[in-house]
Amino acid sequence: MTGWYLSLLLHALMNSKTRKERLVVIGGCAAGMSAASKAKRLRPGMEVIAVEKSPHVSYSACGIPYFVSDLVRDADELVSVTPDEFRTRRGIDVRVMHDVVAIAPGKRQVTAVDVRGGAEICLAYDQLLISVGGCPRIPADAGLSGSNVFSIQTLQDGIAIKGFIDTHQPKRAVIIGAGYIGMEMAEACRTRGLETAVIEQKDQILGGFEAEVSKKVLSELARQQVFVHTGATVTQTHTEAARVTSLTLTNGETLSCCLVLVCAGVTPNTALAKMAGVRLGSTGAIAVDWKMRTCANNIYAAGDCVEVKNLVSGRPDYIPLGHTANKQGRVAGENIGGGTARFRGVVGTSVFKVFDLEVARTGLGCAQANRLGFDARSVTVLSGEKAAYFPRASQISTTVIFDQRSGRLLGAQMVGSAGVSKRIDVFAAALLNKMDLEAMTALDLSYAPPFAPVWDPVLVAVNVARGKLRR
């Protein structure tokens, strides 16, 4: 018996030395493929398998509105690396069109189904990364279903929307939701010649932005003949031949439509995490530590399915953004590969374009900051984005949110026709370093007439805010 036991043990040890360690990645977009690539670079001998339910991996979801508008002519232009390139150049086994339906942590095994034929496969893992992103938020009880109703989550969604417009030449679009994607899709629809209306359940578009910013964007939408209905939700849909033909709103108004785009935000996709016994955080997204590890052994998570630390509030937050997902994936991949990378958190910096405006924010809004216990106040300042005498000089509206007691910067928001996208990064860097307004007045910002006035809009706004502090 002893000899048999030792022989069996020796056989197991020999197999453990010869078998490659395996990383399985669930989800093939920003976080997943960043992690897979980083882990493979650090440990070339590791077997890496990435499982993705759509036909595409490693693409720019943020570019979808520009693909729909025809600014980007081919969907392939949005793809950074194809599945074949991952296999042949990076040694990563990418399984597209496979949907993971179960995780068994006790067995260290995942089960996936081939969506093309239903065949089931089981994959053992040594390390597992959950990077399944978010789920489109679909308004409840609105009956929003039909062959002309689309959400915008994947590249395949973008291909379907563009294909529908190209084939059916719709005349009128209704967009549900007035956040970033809703604004970008409003521009895309107008660029394609569609009459466009936006429905927003809140009283203000762009939730989380200050009223001054929202008003300027609303004015731009009106100038571009986008009709906005705030404080409204869909109460009834009217269909014909499996297509939604009109929507009735809470105010009794009925909007006819040929195309409906649901852009009401996302919620973290946590179904697989729950199945695996992975703990969710206070935001409802997956809780992870600074290494992107979950509470379950050998299971990591990254991207829009996880919560992050808000470095301004110091609390958990859910801020699904593409650049954050890429950074989290890289950190997870480095740690899976044996490194000690750290994801500190975010300050929530974002920017988008809507027609002729650039709109950006970072940090907390004023109302949000006050709810979190700060003594917050905001100032809004209009100033030039370049020397006033320079051709095509325009103005930027800058809103600064700050704590009146300490003078600490809490957030900033900007809107203008030019010069916004990189100036918001100055505020983001200041937030990361917990700068107060006094320190910010000493920032040595660049000056030349084509790019900035002597007093940059950042400094002008900070100095005005500093003058409002309690002394």
What are the pLDDT digits (tens) for 294-349?
999 999 999 999 999 999 999 999 999 999 999 999 999 999 999 999 999 999 99
Domain residue ranges in the chain: 20-58+77-135+267-336, 149-264, 356-466
Percent of the chain with pLDDT over 90: 92
Q: State which CATH number among 3.20.20.150, 3.20.20.70, 1.10.10.10, 3.50.50.60 fits the domain covering 20-58+77-135+267-336.
A: 3.50.50.60
What's the CATH superfamily of 149-264? FAD/NAD(P)-binding domain (3.50.50.60)
Rounded average pLDDT over 225-241: 95
Question: Do 149-264 and 20-58+77-135+267-336 have the same topology in CATH?
Answer: yes
What pTM value is reported for the model? 0.92
With helix as H, strand as E and coil as C, how does the chain read?
Answer: CHHHHHHHHHHHHHHHHHCCCEEEEECCCHHHHHHHHHHHHHCCCCEEEEEECCCCCCECHHHHHHHHCCCCCCHHHHECCCHHHHHHHHCCEEEECEEEEEEECCCCEEEEEECCCCCEEEEECCEEEECCCEEECCCCCCCCCCCCEEECCCHHHHHHHHHHHHHHCCCEEEEECCCHHHHHHHHHHHHCCCEEEEEECCCCCCCCCCHHHHHHHHHHHHHCCEEEEECCCEEEEEEECCEEEEEEECCCCEEECCEEEECCCEEECCHHHHHCCCCECCCCCECCCCCCECCCCCEEECCCCECEEECCCCCEECCCCHHHHHHHHHHHHHHHCCCCCCCCCECCCEEEEECCEEEEEEECCHHHHHHCCCCEEEEEEEEECCCCCCCCCCEEEEEEEEECCCCEEEEEEEEECCCCCCHHHHHHHHHHCCCEHHHHCCCCCCCECCCECCCCHHHHHHHHHHCCCCC
| pLDDT score of 201 | 94
Mean pLDDT of the chain: 94
Q: 457 to each of 352, 381, 396, how far by Cα in Å?
A: 19, 8, 7
Output b/e per residue, 43-66; b: 16+ Cβ within 10 A.
beebbbbbbbbbebbbbbbbbbbb
What are the pLDDT digits (tens) for 113-153?
999 999 999 999 999 999 999 999 988 767 788 999 999 99
Inform me whether the pLDDT recorded for 19 exceeds 70.
no
Band of residue 82 on the pLDDT scale cut at 50, 70, 90? very high
What kind of architecture, by CATH, is found in domain 356-466? 2-Layer Sandwich (3.30)
Rounded average pLDDT over 431-449: 96
Give the burial class of 148: count Cβ atoms within 10 A of its Cβ; 0-12 exposed, 13-18 middle, 19 or more buried: buried
What are the pLDDT digits (tens) for 377-396?
999 999 999 999 988 899 99
Q: Which of 29, 62, 122, 366 is catalytic?
A: 62
Per the annotation, the verdict on 62 as an active-site residue is yes
The token pair at 243 is 């297509």
Inform me whether the pLDDT recorded for 17 exceeds 60.
no
What are the pLDDT digits (tens) for 172-220?
999 999 999 999 999 999 999 999 999 999 999 999 999 999 999 999 9
Q: Which residue has the higher pLDDT, 19 or 96?
A: 96
- How far does CA 18 lie from the centroid of its chain? 40
- Rounded to whole angstroms, how far apart are CA atoms 145 and 222? 28
Band of residue 54 on the pLDDT scale cut at 50, 70, 90? very high
